[in-house]
Structure 1
């Protein structure tokens, strides 16, 4: 989907899709897969604004996660994936979580300028990439932020909402799998670091049986699994995961060292094994009778994401 908006700054994605929905030929289960951070299409205008080289700017990507989960549409479940990079726009934030130091104009009270994510430089428009490297040479204009948020962020969430609404309409229930990767967690104590972190906001965004199943698939492959620490689920998991409305959401974080080089971002020898494991997870989720498990015939899903 190309990005269009009516402001004074032309969309950086006027000539190419900012994101895409990949649909199965036949919808077989109420699953929706979302890969918001694996985009790797960097607009020339954006690259001209950054002080970083092309490899450094990519350090915040969830590189190749869309490919790890890429068989979901072939197996009967839709996937929404970003083409825009996370360093350019983070749709796993509130829409207006902005750092006032990044902009020429002052930011009014309507913007969330004080969140912990903004303080860390990781708002809707990030100030830094990994290792706290500043992204931009100069300050941005608010028109640039509006172009990205009104022209890409809101349409992205509208597309995600549509997929969840379709699942609810068809099956009476929906399960959002929010797909991510994480830097390898290094611990100085004796406790083994997790390979996988499953986030359900401490039991509030999906039925226990769903996170239990995911944990069983990963531990069955010999991987170490943690729940909610250090990643409990971001904006999408928190906003869409409303079990009381029939929408369940589970965030999955995969340690990057399992399938790629964290330095060069090249796939390593483990990539195919992890992709096969993800296929196994998708098969297991599709095989669940979710309607019986979590209850179907929920009321039509309301617009859950914040505007």
Structure 2
């Protein structure tokens, strides 16, 4: 199914020196030929759901001492930022198993574990899929990806007694905060305070604003399955989702990088360094308070 490329990789630092794990689950851009044959979309349209080049924007993570997990498979093929079996019964030629979640808002929107659409409600497939196809993708890609992410988080928590997962994404340039004319450059998602401490979220916002960006919290993106599933602040495990506005760094029509792509990556590297320095103090204070 995907034997022509590695499914994902972990870019490791020489030594993990900070309690961070960076994750880029939607920036994969290697499309299995069998998937392209199934799709009714052209080569550019099928890429509309990618978090374009987010793995490169946050690529400095290992240099700062943090591992980075990144997908090579595309989000349109299988979405690991979902429950394992959020499946749309209209997509498949057989009845779904009883454990499938067919009623989630994400399934209703066409963006389940096996997506039905790419961005802007464009249908991916010309015909229904065999159920075995979906289950194979989940077994071969989804489950190994999450097993790897769990290992990285557990290793980090065991080493430092504290851990921060930064789940890295991008958003369309036309996104705005509902009820306002605000078009944010970045959105920090913490599931409304349940996946990370407010101190971490506020620090992230302040660092981005200090770099000259317009940053907001949770609206319209509060974090997906990964943020919700792995964030356990009471146990010293914090998960933040960060969304970058694509209009800052690509031409959304051609998907070509803009000339200031490297400048944005440099600003994000400064942000990452600032977060590492903040967490070094914050984790120490938290540990002392617990004693």
Output the CA distance in 1 between the equivalents of 2:227 and 2:210.
25
For structure 2, which runs of at least 5 residues remain unmatched after alignment?
A: none
Shift of 1:147: 1.1
Match of 1:6 in 2: none
Report whether the alignment pairs 1:295 with 2:260.
Answer: no
Q: How many residues get paired?
A: 287
Q: How far, CA to CA, are the matches of 2:167 and 2:212 in structure 1?
A: 22
Structure 1 segment 243-282 matched on structure 2, within 5 A: 243-282=233-272
TM-score under structure 1 length normalisation: 0.90
Q: Does 1:101 align with 2:90?
A: yes
1:176 pairs, out of 165, 187, 191, with 165
| CA distance in 1: counterparts of 2:259 and 2:94, whole angstroms | 48
Q: Provide TM-score, normalisation by structure 2.
A: 0.95
Does the CA contact (< 8 Å) of 2:4 and 2:32 recur in 1? no
Alignment partner of 1:295: what SS? helix
Match of 2:21 in 1: 32
> Separation in 2 of the partners of 1:296 and 1:71?
30
CA contact (8 A) 1:261 1:267 kept: yes
Contact 2:18/2:64 (CA < 8 Å) preserved in 1?
Answer: no
Which residue of the partner structure matches residue 3 of structure 1?
none
Alpha-carbon deviations, 1:265-300, whole Å to 9, x = none?
1110221121011101111122231421443899xx
State the SS of the aligned residue for 1:238: helix
Against the structure 1 CA distance between its residues 103 and 76, is the aligned structure 2 distance closer, same or farther, given a 3 Å change threshold?
same
Match of 1:139 in 2: 128
- The correspondence for 2:274, drawn from 284, 301, 304, is 284
Aligned residue number for residue 20 of structure 1: 9
1:238-289 C-alpha deviation (Å, 9 max, x unpaired): 0000011221000000100001111111110221121011101111122231
CA distance in 2, matches of 1:131, 1:202: 26
2:201 corresponds in structure 1 to 211
Match of 2:186 in 1: 196
Q: Any unmatched runs of 5+ in structure 1?
A: 1-11, 299-307
Do the aligned partners of residues 106 and 252 (structure 1) sit closer, same or farther apart at CA in structure 2, a change above 3 Å counting? same
| Superposed CA RMSD | 1.7
